[in-house]
Structure 1
Amino acid sequence: MTAMAKTKKMQLSNSQKKKQKHNRAGKKEFKPSSRRGRLIVRNLPYKCTENDVHKHFKAFGNIKDIQLLRRPDKKLVGCGFVEFTSRLNADKAVEQLNGKQFLGRPIYIERAVAQDRYNESSKQNSQDSCY
């Protein structure tokens, strides 16, 4: 009976290892966040302001925060974050605005991920592409 108990224990350990390995690869596991309505917006015009972005997104619901990323010289990078109070409102904005024109440029929108998950995913992708 002890050998059988050890076998079951080893099988459980192996499945746990597989699950952990699978989760480290950035798949299947969703890390709960207080920022579930947070979107990343790419290809923003360099001349836009937070107010322009607010006007463009406000039709989809209450906006909690807008952050436009800037270089050290304070010029826009062309990327930013829009955080809605509701995930449903954020999803509506993605559906309606992704790929659409904003101040003369198409913008690309998707749900933002936590920075640690993004960094982990980037590391994994760079390791996969190395020979």
Structure 2
Amino acid sequence: MAEHPHAQLVRKGYEAFARGDMDTLRGLMSADCTHHVPGSHQLSGDFKGQDTIIGMYGQMAEQTGGTMQVDLRSILVDGRGHAVAVHRFTADRNGKHFEENGCIVFRIVGDKVTDLDECVEDMDRSNDFWS
């Protein structure tokens, strides 16, 4: 059975992110897309618009010295514009090593991601790592 188009879109995004291909990522998002990052650290909050989201990704890469990796584990879809991607995140920052499971709930309209709601496994550990 063929992979659902929403799963294909999310997979393409994860592959582009892993390559650092921000132009491809930009093309997968609506102009007013919003990425919601949980927590109470410098990179948490709501990032609205392609440029703002791509800028946040750049800050993550810079602050982790390029050690950040996201390993996509699975994608679930509902066929009504939602997809959930489960991943494993690893990175090093300021002498700290961080590994955790996480997910992103994607909202998709047509062939564009309009909203990304990120969820983390351990909010306190995430806040500590990014603070």
Calculate the TM-score normalised by the size of structure 1: 0.26
Higher percent of residues as strand: 2
Larger radius of gyration: 1
TM-score (norm 2): 0.26
